Amino acid sequence: MSETIYVVLAVFAGFFLGAFFFGGLWWTIKKGVSSAHPALFFIVSMIIRTGIILVGFYSVSCAHWERFLGCLIGFIIARIIVMRLTKLPVEKQKQSAKEPN
């Protein structure tokens, strides 16, 4: 197979890794604030998510910088998409800003 196909597959893999990482981060924040031990919840989640991402990047890149870069680009694309999907509507942002703590 050509190296271009591997780079394209690396972009897709990076996208799925990013969706897992940032989707997991969103889920952690939603569930962690109501947890009995939020600090432990956040730390364990961070370690698991980061470990999976490191293993994923290492496996996908296979010591090729082109594949690593493709994976990173897919990861960043997933970050942008997850941020847009999980963003609060403007009305709720304004309402939560007005509420006293």
pLDDT at 40 over 90: yes
Mean pLDDT of 28-39: 91
Q: Are the CB atoms for 22 and 82 separated by under 8 Å?
A: yes
CB 10 within 8 A of CB 70: yes
Give the mean model confidence (pLDDT) for residues 17-44.
93
Alpha carbon distance 41, 54 (integer Å): 20
Segments making up each domain of the chain, as ranges: 3-98
Q: pLDDT (tens digit, 9 = 90+) per residue, 41-97?
A: 999 999 999 999 999 999 999 999 999 999 999 999 999 999 999 887 766 666 666
- Give the residue among 69, 78, 73, 70 at the shortest CA–CA distance from 49: 78
Distance between CA atoms of 48 and 3, rounded to whole angstroms? Answer: 31
Task: Give the predicted TM-score (pTM) of the model.
Answer: 0.83
